[in-house]
Amino acid sequence: MATLAELVRQHTELSKEDASHLQQLVGEWGMLADLCFADLVLYLRDTEGKWLVGAQVRPATGQTIHRSDLVDTPASEEESALLESTFTSQRISEAELDKVGIDDSVHVLAIPVRGETGPVAVMTREWSSKTSRQPGELERTYLSIFQRFAEMIAGGAFPFAGRAADLSAAPRVGDGAIVLDENARVRYASPNAVSALHRVGISANAVGQTLSELGFFDSPVRQAFERLEPVIEEFDQTADVTLLVRCIPIVADEVATGGMVLLRDVTEVRRRDRMLLSKDATIREIHHRVKNNLQTISSLLRLQARRLSSPEAKAAVQESVRRIRTIALVHETLSREPGDDVAFIEIVRPLLRLAEESLQSPDRPVRFVVGGDGGRLPATIATPLSVVLTELLQNAVDHGFPEGSDGGVVVVQLDGDDEEMHITVVNDGHPLDPGFDLDAATGLGLSIVRTLVTTELNGTIEIRPGRAEDFVAVEIEGRPRGGGTVVELRLPR
Ligand SMILES: Nc1ncnc2c1ncn2[C@@H]1O[C@H](COP(=O)(O)OP(=O)(O)OP(=O)(O)O)[C@@H](O)[C@H]1O
Ligand SMILES: [Mg+2]
């Protein structure tokens, strides 16, 4: 679907300022539709003088008469005549029209939208007698406020100049509305606004008093009346009630002749925000405890290994200690990171440090290098992936640089895009056995790798002898020797 900005660009020659004036109007007009209980439609005049719909909004306070989407449809001849005369006379005008698909005749109030230098577009309020609300005090008050905003639009005073605020969370008319007179005294408070005032302990009849006389935090109102622009503020009105308040001044001849205060009780939203924050802290604490427990387990196993006499059993238990330490390391990283994802590099660095400490031996020095960054990964896959990486590092050292060789480089390269992570572990040591078949490998290390990669990580793994170009791609400094082994992991994100 075309956006207003696109339609303006395609069909009109409006200046950038005028285009952003319309954009701001559309940013604010949900409030206007709510105040007039009716559909609002913004019509653009194309370069040939034809009219088309640029945007529309439906009221949250009333019924729409436009069931279908009007954007990017042309105006009828009858409509065009009304729009054209409104545009050229720059006067608000009204007509009763027949519209295709609507049984009843449609009342149309056409308001010229004035930009910096002249008319820019026409906004209409469209309703039928069948859908309009029974007029009561609320309806009369809101409609008269709408009229005043309509005059501001025709005079170029609404929407307010300046940077468009993000109003997605701003209070709407239905949340609670207070109408102020030129002295910032309450002229009318909607039932929802009265309830909000009750909740903060203000039960007096508000009409005729200023908000500060009522004991209400009125800084947004004071600022809006002084600066002649909308002001939005959130504050704790009482110890347990947080209100979001927006005050829009009504301006005529550069003085505030009234104002509209919209308020929303955001106590519940903020309480949930706070809960989420504390949930985050809880998750981190749990990771911390898991790490401590794992460290305890690995200490117990280490003690056990010392008591074993068979070298084979000793080695097996020590392997387990190493694997558990890897998992503990991941939990340590997760316990420091807020949120439920983690920078991959934050996981890889401590793993390499661990490998450096535990796998090095002075007679065959191995340098560990990490390249790329790998982005962020969900905490859930950080643990299996780390276990996999540890096994691959271990193999690169064990089989690439066996006892008696002269050492070399192990590179972990992290690449990929939004869809896939691409992890390469390369060593430039002893070449992979040419007859090596991953599916036939029976060692525990690769079994762990294969199982985790295919089940928990849903990825693929490939092991092949290194070629000279592998070492160019991973940028091993110095002399790329070739040989060695390349392990490639591809994991969907
Ligand atoms: N980076 C590598 N370079 C050369 N050969 C490798 C490499 N990785 C694995 N291999 C071959 O695959 C075999 C199986 O590896 P695997 O990790 O499963 O077992 P392992 O390393 O022998 O024992 P462990 O269970 O202690 O890891 C190895 O014995 C080795 O021959
Ligand atoms: Mg191994």
pLDDT at 371 (0 to 100): 86
Is the separation of the CB atoms in 179 and 141 below 8 Å? yes
Mean pLDDT score, 164-173? 77
Closest-lying ligand 1 atom to the alpha carbon of residue 484: 3
Q: What residues sit around ligand 2, an ion, with C-beta below 5 angstroms?
A: 395, 445
pLDDT at 461 (0 to 100): 94
Q: How far is the CA of 392 from the centre of ligand 2 (A)?
A: 7
Extract the tokens encoding 300.
Answer: 């117990």
Average pLDDT along the chain? 89
pLDDT at 217 (0 to 100): 86
Q: What are phi and psi of 220, to 5 degrees?
A: -60, -35
Residue from 186, 193, 187 nearest 171 by CA: 193
Question: Model confidence over 377-414: pLDDT tens digits?
Answer: 888 888 899 999 999 999 999 899 888 888 888 889 98
Nearest residue (CA) to ligand 1, atom 24: 445
Q: How far is the CA of 427 from the centre of ligand 1 (A)?
A: 13
Cα 132 to Cα 61: distance, rounded to the nearest angstrom: 10
Cα Dmax for the chain: 102
pLDDT at 340 (0 to 100): 76
* Res. 474: pLDDT tops 80: no
Cα 31 to Cα 158: distance, rounded to the nearest angstrom: 12
Q: Which of 36-45, 222-231, 461-470 has the lowest mean pLDDT?
A: 461-470
Q: Which amino acid is at 235?
A: F
Does ligand 1 come within 6 angstroms of the Cβ of 388? no
* Res. 428: pLDDT tops 90: no
* Res. 481: pLDDT tops 70: no
Mean pLDDT score, 134-148? 91
Q: How far is the CA of 220 from the centre of ligand 1 (A)?
A: 69
> For residue 99, what pLDDT band results from cuts at 50, 70 and 90?
confident
Question: Model confidence over 246-289: pLDDT tens digits?
Answer: 999 999 988 999 999 999 988 888 888 888 777 778 888 888 88
* Res. 376: pLDDT tops 90: no
Residue from 412, 438, 446 whose mutation best tests the ligand 1 pocket (most atoms within 8 A of CB): 446
Residue from 312, 322, 398 whose mutation best tests the ligand 1 pocket (most atoms within 8 A of CB): 398
Cα 384 to Cα 451: distance, rounded to the nearest angstrom: 10
pLDDT at 431 (0 to 100): 87
Does ligand 1 come within 6 angstroms of the Cβ of 443? yes
Q: Do 173-265 and 341-493 share a fold? A: no
Q: What are phi and psi of 280, to 5 degrees?
A: -55, -45
Burial of 74 (0-12, 13-18, 19+ CB in 10 A): middle
* Res. 77: pLDDT tops 90: yes
The model's pTM: 0.59
Cα 23 to Cα 46: distance, rounded to the nearest angstrom: 17
Mean pLDDT score, 199-225? 90
DSSP code for 185? B
Q: How far is the CA of 222 from the centre of ligand 2 (A)?
A: 72
Cα 425 to Cα 116: distance, rounded to the nearest angstrom: 62
* Res. 107: pLDDT tops 60: yes
* Res. 477: pLDDT tops 60: no
Q: How far is the CA of 160 from the centre of ligand 2 (A)?
A: 68
Q: How far is the CA of 83 from the centre of ligand 2 (A)?
A: 78
Is the separation of the CB atoms in 47 and 13 below 8 Å? yes
Q: Is the peptide bond before 159 cis (omega within 30 degrees of 0)?
A: yes
Cα 432 to Cα 325: distance, rounded to the nearest angstrom: 28
Pick the residue with more confidence: 59 or 281?
59
Residue ranges with strand state E in 77-190 = 93-97, 106-114, 119-127, 177-180, 186-189
Is the separation of the CB atoms in 78 and 97 below 8 Å? yes
Does ligand 1 come within 6 angstroms of the Cβ of 251? no
* Res. 85: pLDDT tops 60: yes
pLDDT at 475 (0 to 100): 56
At which residue do the structure tokens 């706070």 appear? 274
Domain boundaries, the chain: 4-155, 173-265, 268-339, 341-493
Between strands 366-372 and 341-343, the pairing is unpaired
- CATH 3.30.565.10 assigned to 341-493: yes
* Res. 479: pLDDT tops 70: no
Closest-lying ligand 1 atom to the alpha carbon of residue 429: 3
Question: Model confidence over 332-370: pLDDT tens digits?
Answer: 888 887 777 888 888 898 888 888 887 777 788 888 888
Cα 425 to Cα 401: distance, rounded to the nearest angstrom: 14
* Res. 146: pLDDT tops 90: yes
DSSP code for 204? S
CATH superfamily for domain 173-265: PAS domain (3.30.450.20)
- Per-residue burial over 434-460, b if 16 or more Cβ lie within 10 Å, else e, is eeeeeeeeeeebbebbbebbeebbebe
Q: What value does the CA radius of gyration of the chain take, rounded to a whole number of Å?
A: 35
Cα 331 to Cα 87: distance, rounded to the nearest angstrom: 66
* Cβ neighbours around 47 below 10 Å, total: 9
Question: Would residue 387 be called left, alpha or beta, if left means φ above 0 and alpha means ψ between -120 and 50 degrees?
Answer: alpha
* Res. 45: pLDDT tops 80: yes
Pick the residue with more confidence: 347 or 134?
347
pLDDT at 140 (0 to 100): 93
pLDDT at 300 (0 to 100): 93
pLDDT at 248 (0 to 100): 94
How do the residues of the chain divide into helix, strand and coil, expressed in percent and rounded to 5?
A: 40, 25, 35
Does ligand 1 come within 6 angstroms of the Cβ of 255? no
Does ligand 1 come within 6 angstroms of the Cβ of 392? no
Is the separation of the CB atoms in 273 and 257 below 8 Å? no
- CATH 3.30.450.280 assigned to 4-155: yes
Does ligand 1 come within 6 angstroms of the Cβ of 399? yes
pLDDT at 468 (0 to 100): 73
pLDDT at 147 (0 to 100): 96
Q: How far is the CA of 396 from the centre of ligand 1 (A)?
A: 8
* Res. 476: pLDDT tops 70: no
Extract the tokens encoding 395.
Answer: 């193999």
Residue from 391, 399, 439 whose mutation best tests the ligand 1 pocket (most atoms within 8 A of CB): 399
- In three-state secondary structure terms, 219 is helix
